[in-house]
Amino acid sequence: MTDIILSAQGLVRRFTARKPLFGTPSVVQAVSDVTLDVRRGETLAIVGESGCGKSTLARLLTRLLAPSEGAVVYDGRDIASLSDTEMRTLRRDMQFIFQDPFSSLNPRMTVGALIEEPLRIHRMGSAPERRAKVADLLRKVGLRPEHADRFPHEFSGGQRQRIGIARALATGPRIVVGDEPVSALDVSIQAQVVNILEDLKEELGLTLVIIAHDLAVIRHISDRVAVMYLGEIVELGDAAALFEKPAHPYTETLLSAIPIPATGARKARSLVDGDPPNPISPPPGCRFHTRCPYAQARCRSERPGLRTLAPDRQVACHFAEDLSLAGVDATMAARPAAAERRFAVYSNARANMTGAETNKTKLPTEE
Ligand SMILES: Nc1ncnc2c1ncn2[C@@H]1O[C@H](COP(=O)(O)OP(=O)(O)OP(=O)(O)O)[C@@H](O)[C@H]1O
């Protein structure tokens, strides 16, 4: 048995969008050539701003969506080639937790019926066995068996997401993919739900893929992190090392938006402003160059591929060595030496640009 349970191989997914003024169809490449392995038993987080293609990638991985190009391989088999019977097994093995616990649960079904539904679809167990299973699942997610007779609207957002988790676990999956499973919840509830997921992952030996736009949410539970920008993975690696030393300027930006716990409410200032470019016409060269404080001529013309920078670290940046190995980290505001080194890298990069080419950027100063 290999330690890779699921892998994306050169995945591309295009959507046809309509231009509002002329009605001419245009194509959005939501996922562009993504290659990624999910290791058995790990928690892999996929992070990035809204619109970068995270949900599309999650749907491709679970076959809720078919790729335009590339393949998804589960346990050594391309899932596009599975027979109907094998596909049913795959549906049992892979479950999805949706972002919005308010709209993803049918309001007309009792909680018990909602959790039991996947068991009935897959013809698993007799009616009494299914009822016992529902009670067990409710307990597992911190609810009570008698909650089975109530309806979703009787529960808070956090409780509804627990119901969503119980439903996802009903068939005994091996992989659970959570598409921003806590982002619709109050911040105070998010950690509770994330912790439940993590505990269940350990208890049941699951593999977890968690989609998030906020690194703070996944900081303590992920083993590895994949950072996406405009449809591409720009950095991938061991979570602790990546949080300690981001190698891609975009990862650094995401990290700099996380509050620093030791200093209370203070935040390090984000390095880039504005929205990402329109995915219908992504910039040439490195897609991040229009917002990157370190961008140089090469970045505007040459697209960097994902390459291995260190063991368990891949990055798509021409200058990753210069930037990451300079000792930059997200807490630079509290570490003057690191901030100075970063400023040196930043100044050198800026010195190589002409005034007209310089991106609109902020210096990495404290708030
Ligand atoms: N069915 C669709 N038709 C047309 N365009 C789509 C469709 N689904 C996604 N897109 C586009 O693909 C890009 C990626 O969308 P996706 O939802 O995967 O991003 P995301 O990172 O998950 O964003 P969010 O966090 O907002 O859900 C976006 O530009 C989006 O508008």
**282 and 339 inside one domain:** yes
Ligand 1 midpoint to CA 29 (Å): 9
Angle between helices 157-169 and 187-204 (to 10 degrees): 20
* 251 shares a domain with 175: no
- Residues 106 and 176 grouped into a single domain: yes
Burial of 147 (0-12, 13-18, 19+ CB in 10 A): buried
Q: How far is the CA of 272 from the centre of ligand 1 (A)?
A: 22
Ligand 1 center–CA 275 separation, angstroms: 15
Q: Which atom of ligand 1 is nearest to the CA of 56?
A: 18
Pairing between β-strand 313-315 and β-strand 232-238 as defined by DSSP bridges? antiparallel
- Quick check: is 131 in a domain? yes
Using alpha carbons, select from 173, 211, 171 the residue that is nearest to residue 36.
211
Q: How far apart are CA 302 and CA 287, in angstroms?
A: 10
Instruction: Decide: 30 in ligand 1 pocket, CB within 6 A.
Output: yes
Domain that holds residue 299: 245-357
Tell me the per-residue pLDDT of 40-75, one tens digit each, with 9 for 90 and over: 999 999 999 888 999 999 999 999 999 999 999 998
Please say whether the beta carbons of 235 and 304 come within 8 A: no
Write down the ipTM of this complex: 0.96
Residue nearest to atom 2 of ligand 1 (CA): 15
Domain co-membership, 197 together with 307: no
Based on the fold, state whether residues 207 and 58 are members of the same structural domain. Answer: yes
Q: What is the pLDDT along the chain (367 residues), one digit of tens a residue?
A: 569 999 999 999 999 876 666 667 788 999 999 999 999 999 999 999 888 999 999 999 999 999 999 999 998 899 999 998 889 899 999 999 988 877 888 999 999 999 999 999 999 999 999 999 999 999 999 999 999 999 999 999 999 999 999 999 999 999 999 999 888 888 888 888 888 999 999 999 999 999 998 788 888 889 999 999 999 999 999 999 999 889 999 998 888 876 555 544 434 444 456 677 888 888 999 999 999 988 899 999 999 999 999 889 999 999 888 765 444 443 333 333 333 334 344 334 433 433 333 333 332 322 2
> Do 138 and 184 fall into the same domain?
yes
Instruction: Answer yes or no: do 215 and 278 share one domain.
Output: no
Q: How many domains does the chain have?
A: 2
Same domain, 52 and 180: yes
In Å, what is the CA distance from 251 to each residue of 44, 153, 199, 261? 16, 38, 27, 19
Please tell me the residue having the least CA distance from ligand 1 atom 22.
Answer: 55
CB 112 within 8 A of CB 131: yes
With H, G, I as helix, E, B as strand and everything else as coil, classify residue 212: strand
Q: Are residues 173 and 294 in the same domain?
A: no
Each residue's pLDDT tens digit, 172-201: 999 999 999 888 888 888 888 888 999 999
List pLDDT tens digits, range 9-36. 999 999 987 666 666 778 899 999 999 9
| Domain boundary residue, one of 222, 255, 283 | 222
Residues 345 and 199 grouped into a single domain: no
Residue 364 lies in a domain: no
Is the residue at 70 inside a domain? no
In a domain, 3, yes or no: no
Whichever domain contains 158, its CATH number is 3.40.50.300
Residues 276 and 211 in one domain: no
| Residue 102 parent element (H or E) | none
Query: pTM of the predicted model, to two decimals?
Result: 0.84
